[in-house]
Structure 1
């Protein structure tokens, strides 16, 4: 397909400016970048020398945010869909991270402990939240990104455990109504949940997301942080001070860290 404009966009693509000084090429009919990806990247503790893997990377947005904030040294981004794996490479080039971000087009269910090289210090994943349904949406790309068509949460946790070194950290974002599935999958994979934050769109509403940090081979014991509230109560959509700070710094600070 013929490319056009200075960013070499295809007709089915768009480009978005991210508030960290990044530019992100996305598919118009794909699942676009949202707050869950940004919050997950901010939840990762800074470890500038760490080697990281991003499972189910999509466009590579989480990997790009981690590198832009200096949180890790290098990332292998695992993505099943070839056109999205190509997007990761292009987004890395566009933002100057070609030497530090490598796309790996493969099925994470087939990864063993040596598939990507040495064990990783950190693994991140924003996996599909929803169980498979009988129908298909108008976009196969969105269907794959949202639904567990090519791997459920158990597959993601097992893949993370196989790739992590002992004591390595796994970060994920998930739906609160399926939290039991996440915790069960983590524990069955040898990943102990150590820190968890519930995210609410507004104080008076039930949580819409949960962020989780797990550690391979750790003993039991988890710190549940105070909740993160995204918007002030009342009319309008004004960010809370806590969310503004996270968007500005790319970090969760106290009291969202372990005491």
Structure 2
């Protein structure tokens, strides 16, 4: 670890390293917002958003890599093979799009994230193979293996958390918000009466309903929002039962 930190601090322009990090963060957030949009879109638009996310992620991975390479100060003239350089960005975009497509199924977010992590590693090492310099690169396979494994695992976990954390949140879909203040009616009309909403917020409405022996239930479903159900006893039936 100290060897890696020493390489970063002593052999890199830290300003460009910071720029690479900012570029990476921007690309990640943009790509993930597109993936979430794809999961919520119709089938026709889904492929468009996945392709866009793949392009953004691929270009972000590629840009992060080459900005970081510009930050690496070897003291040697460095060039790049055009063919391998172009191949590296194409591979990153295609594999990322494939990984994003897998994540459309909520239970496969880890697998899709692992493929995106593999895209990052593949792009990096193809990009390194494109380097042309008056020197021979020597690879420590322990570091190579660790970089691939760590990258794949962290990307898989990050993808899983980013795409599944919304399941624990509650809320009402924007198009359904007005329904929270419209007429409520119990499914069994023989045991219920209808009440008009008067602009009351749900917390106040819940309190008032409970005072009358009723209850409000919220049922959330991912992608559909929240269903609000009001259960309120018919006072006439209550009085009849008490009299009996």
TM-score by length of 1: 0.22
Which structure: larger Rg? 2
Structure with more helix by fraction: 2
The structure in which a higher percent of residues are strand is: 1
